[in-house]
Structure 1
Amino acid sequence: MATTTEAPASSTAEGPTTHTQNQAAKTGGALAIRPDQTAWTPEQGAVLRQSGIKDQVTPAELSGFLHLCQRTGLDPFSRQIYLIGRFSKKDGREVYTPQTGIDGYRVIAQRVTAQTGGTYGYEDTVWCDPSGRWHDVWLAVEPPAAAKVTVIRNGQRFSAVATFREYVQTFPDGNPKGLWAKMPAGQIAKCAEALALRKAFPHDLAGVYTAEEMDQADNAAPMAPSQDFIAKAENAETAAIARGVWTNAKHAGATVDVLDQIAAIGQEKAAAEQQPTPDSDAGDDEVVDVEVVSEDVPGQDPPKDTGAAKDAQKVVLDTLYAQAIEHRHNRDVLTQVRGAADEEGVIDWEVPGPPPERQPMSFRDLLEMLESAHAQRSAA
């Protein structure tokens, strides 16, 4: 179902009229942007710096931003449009890109329609599931695979499809974050709407992108295929080979969860390589000593000490951490782990907490969290 709005015809060119900008300059005070302005005034520059623009911004970026504000009629001092800096390895500095919200796009579309005449509206937004079926409302818990928005301007349809995987903002482990985790259908619909509006109003929206479209620019670099590393670890003939797989995966930027899986595989291989004795048959309630796969202590590095004692403590902490996470269902194991950590002096070292948040915490706090979770499960 399409919805459109009509505006009175006008001979005005696309973009804010000179009369409109002059009126804004008269009523907006010292921060108002004049149509004949060629550089930011000292007052405007001071406010822009307070909004987060650093000294690394180039004169060309500032001049382009001023021209864009004049062309779109969006006010940077009302946060309708803003410059966002993102570090570029290529340039060796933060590169600034103009951004607005989807509301800014809608303001421009309505303003241009009012000034140039004609109509502007939308068809109903639809979402696509992973199988390729389209829905006019998204009710599933998991995010949609894509969204489609169609803008109608002067009777002409401008459709755009945005896929979730291309725009979703993620944590380093690949999980969606922020509004992409809370309202994924709405976020991807905004991206599709921005694409469609840019097709319908190419002159007015060129050079400025919505915040929703640019969220993915903050994502970590693509990770190497996780399953390849896990498969290599599973196929490793010895624990030493599995240790090498763990190191390669870490250097390739694998997630913590993947590294933990590889470490667990290596520990299983190391345990299988040990020669059992009649008196060393460990039950489920005992702490099992195993060879540690990882070469680094999880979390922050401990105080520097190249001695053999510190190296041994690293091994102990790696082993105890793996056992604490693996046996969090067993309170007796956690008690023994705590005692061993106290004896080795690693109880207060910082480690990543349990998945999925993995917030940094001391090893002592981690054990207390796991014991509390065990107590709650037992009470239930």
Structure 2
Amino acid sequence: MSHVLKTRERLAEVRYEIRGELARRARELEAQGRKLIKLNIGNPGAFGFRAPEHLQRAIADRIHETDPYTHQQGLPAAREALADFHRRRGTPNASPERVFVGNGVSELIDLSLRALLNPGDEVLVPSPDYPLWTAATILNDGCAVHYPCRPEDGFLPDPDVMESLVTPRTRAIVVINPNNPTGAVYPRALLERIVAIAARHRLLLLSDEIYDEVLYDGATFQPLAPLAGDVPCLSFGGLSKVHRACGWRIGWAVLSGDPLAVGDFHHAMDLLGALRLCANVPGQFAIEAALSGNATIHALTAPGGRLYEARRAVVESVAASPYLRMATPGGALYGFPQVVGDAAIAFDDQAFALEMLESEGVLIVPGTSFNLRERDHFRVTLLPEPDVLREVFARVDRVLARRAGAAVVPAEVA
């Protein structure tokens, strides 16, 4: 009998259905010749979007300089451009020394939690969340404590509830704004209350702002660091979403707050960055161009723009459905509908997602994949053409109508 290689036990606690079993089943169906509509990943390039030409040119013009390793925190010019960008935003103490460039925000999330957590330490994470935050907390021996963001509140958290979850083991608060998966955009007053919680309990603020410029209908993004002041704050951004360059794997994190309070954490981040040598070098040459060039995302999110009209298609389809409701997303690239009425009776989001894939050829992500306790939501990306999304929701209604009919007990039987 061959030796069975055991894996890390805590992996059993990790969810990442965005690329999980349903995505694997989708690949099997495609291998059989099925044509699928895949709405599971916010991957603009897979839907015909391109990174702006001036970013592509910035890399091409400097490609002859990209062979060597660079500094573990990133190219000096890129870090200076990021520090200047954050100074203009009002980030306190923004300097190149406090900027970390990584292989996407995902790597920097993992590094930051590895630098912070001891076994058993707790991190306040929103529910629903982008599941990497919970997974990275678990895999760095921490405990993710989820604070609820309820649909009836527009998926905005209650700061009093958040503070009630703080214990002596709490080390940080994660804020995802604009939010993935819900599209909620956090108002300034709410962010100020979250900063106050961090100040009272001496916590690190971890602000995931990767969708900072993906906004609709006049929604306003408020960066967290300017409000945090001396409270330690790590602000994350990157090229993947606003600039449609996911495959370039360029993200950044900017550390702000009292220098005496963040010194050890800064050194820990620098050490962990050095252990992985450096981030992808070619993509770093696009950072300065991205921050100083035209904001090409605005044409896509304005009325008539492709993302705006895709969002309109989802909002109108949900409004017309007797089986769905949704908090209208103010930002990001997703809709997060809730199943209601007779279709919601004994509803299971995983079973529904599998049925949508098998019978309707549509790949969605179940709401529980985002560490949501309730099993009545699912996420779709807004990246397809509007007509494709309208067709998707016609298929969603078809499946939910069958489920609603099966859930209703005939009067003569009752």
TM value normalised by structure 2: 0.23
Say which one has the larger Rg: 1
TM value normalised by structure 1: 0.24
